[in-house]
Structure 1
């Protein structure tokens, strides 16, 4: 099921599966219409039902509670070995990212949705509202988390954008952060680009696996890859400039809730179905977590939490948690 409506400054589509938005068309002040969110090319394939729910009609933006997936992994020595919680080892990025949400209210000025988790799960339900700004090409979001029992969880948001053009046609504009950490392993075997488990002072000075220096703020990347970088201690804002197309997308969130920004570089590096070497997108994902390694790894001591940036949030029964964020488009 999908709901679509227009407002003065654009058009918005929201699907029940995963509560994902997309496509979204923003109308800029100069009259141009732009569609920055990615929509995966396999969304109507007959084979898509073989995939986890999160991948079947992958698109746009959605919440991840918890963020990541528990699994047994071989990680470097400074990443402690942890167990696996059965509640967090099945659905990639949480139950809500893989199942249908209910549309609670659809009006001319907002959409509200909710999803209930299984009875045995520590999370009871999520509520989500999406409100187009009546005065600007922008969307305002609110996410509410209600739990049955006290729990420490990784959690995050998953805005995912198109990657277009030639290297240098796009730029990530991230300011005021502590450092950048590379993934402590291989996101996809044989498709990594960045030197693993390293810290860099600047996104523009990332180290590559072959000893090269990479400006990870410039897109598309010059090599096919599937990789992650975590910007740690970021101040709650980031921009993505489509320099060749002369517009930008700006993302703002509550930095006290999400102290990191995970960058997912999907640059034709995955070759198996459904990716088939054709998927190009950038995830700019505000998170409270250690990469997408799941809540058990995020709860354990890890290099990111030990640096002073939390990787789990404490949720308490009877005290609903709410966070707000905003995605806006603007001419450059």
Structure 2
């Protein structure tokens, strides 16, 4: 099997350095320089990135790292879901590709210079999305990165979209605190994210991460990670105010993610807590996805664009795109010292 080689570009500024790869336009690693001289690298880099067997994986997984956009978010597929969930939304050729075509394709490099990195991805002719563009710009006066995403479509369509920042976790149980700010309901996945490793009660809702319960009815503080033991699961925070922070208590820093809440009214938390045993996860993968989305979990266009319990409760799970009006959204990732 021939695999297109990944190319990379790097950029340094007064408060750090970053790397971007062509595959998925994934940002990472990033090294932030704090005023006290510490160097902080918060993004997750999957440990199999140089494994010679990774060519058997979907492209999105081969060199999984950091942060990237998902257009559309999730993927269509056969699922058994509870009453109230259905797959009657718009679908199309390519809707089953994990997290969208651009997450699995090599992007073209755009107008890169000493202050920014730009990339563009052209979609297949039959896809409703025409192209996506991405501009990554470090803040010249802060340990922060500003990112712009532009989506152009060929025809009017209704799609879920999302961002996919993925962060490393400190090894001690409960050593990283999730600080989501104001939000609405916390919803659990309406099925099994990973058979045998699902943690949270199925298709349930709670007011806060601290009050979540397991499938056995036991309380768990889902705001403190990593968990003891093995788990692979998702929680969706609806009606969130456009920001979320991770406090690395043992390491004395906080990562802040800020986005336009009118574009992404939810955050999907991906708890990858040693729960997947198959290759390449091998029962030891530890990371936290903090994913601003306009979607119903990662269930894909067919479900996110249909009537579902999340949008019926008032939180949008898809966006209507128009060919004569490019969609542009902006977001920011920053790091600060806490001690």
| Bin for the TM-score computed over the shorter chain | over 0.9
**How many Å apart are 1:135 and its aligned residue?**
0.3
Q: What TM-score comes out, normalization by structure 1 length?
A: 0.98
After superposition, where does 1:296-307 map in structure 2 within 5 Å? 296-307=302-313
3-state DSSP class of the match of 1:74?
A: coil
Say which of 106, 109, 112 aligns to 1:100.
106
**1:104-159 deviations in Å (ceiling 9; x for gaps):** 12211100100000011110000000000000010000000000000000000000
In 2, distance between residues paired with 1:101 and 1:286? 22
Gaps of 5+ in 1: none
Say which of 165, 168, 171 aligns to 1:162.
168
Q: Is the 8 A contact 1:266 1:279 kept in 2?
A: yes
After superposition, where does 1:304-319 map in structure 2 within 5 Å? 304-319=310-325
1:22 is matched with 28
2:118 is matched with 112
**How many Å apart are 1:167 and its aligned residue?**
1.4
After superposition, where does 1:94-243 map in structure 2 within 5 Å? 94-243=100-249
2:4 is matched with none
3-state DSSP class of the match of 1:185?
A: coil
1:59 is matched with 65
**How many Å apart are 1:86 and its aligned residue?**
4.0
**How many Å apart are 1:6 and its aligned residue?**
1.1
Say which of 270, 276, 279 aligns to 1:270.
276
**How many Å apart are 1:296 and its aligned residue?**
1.1
In 2, distance between residues paired with 1:312 and 1:320? 16
Q: Is the 8 A contact 1:88 1:294 kept in 2?
A: no
**1:203-243 deviations in Å (ceiling 9; x for gaps):** 11101111110100001112311100000000000000100
3-state DSSP class of the match of 1:297?
A: helix
In 1, distance between residues paired with 2:143 and 2:228? 31
Runs of 4+ in structure 1 over 3 Å off:
81-84
3-state DSSP class of the match of 2:53?
A: helix
**How many Å apart are 1:82 and its aligned residue?**
3.5
Q: Is the 8 A contact 2:89 2:306 kept in 1?
A: no
Gaps of 5+ in 2: 1-6
1:252 is matched with 258
Q: How many residues align?
A: 332
In 1, distance between residues paired with 2:46 and 2:292? 21
1:279 is matched with 285
Q: Is the 8 A contact 1:72 1:82 kept in 2?
A: no
**1:299-320 deviations in Å (ceiling 9; x for gaps):** 1111110110100001000110
1:36 is matched with 42
In 1, distance between residues paired with 2:92 and 2:304? 15
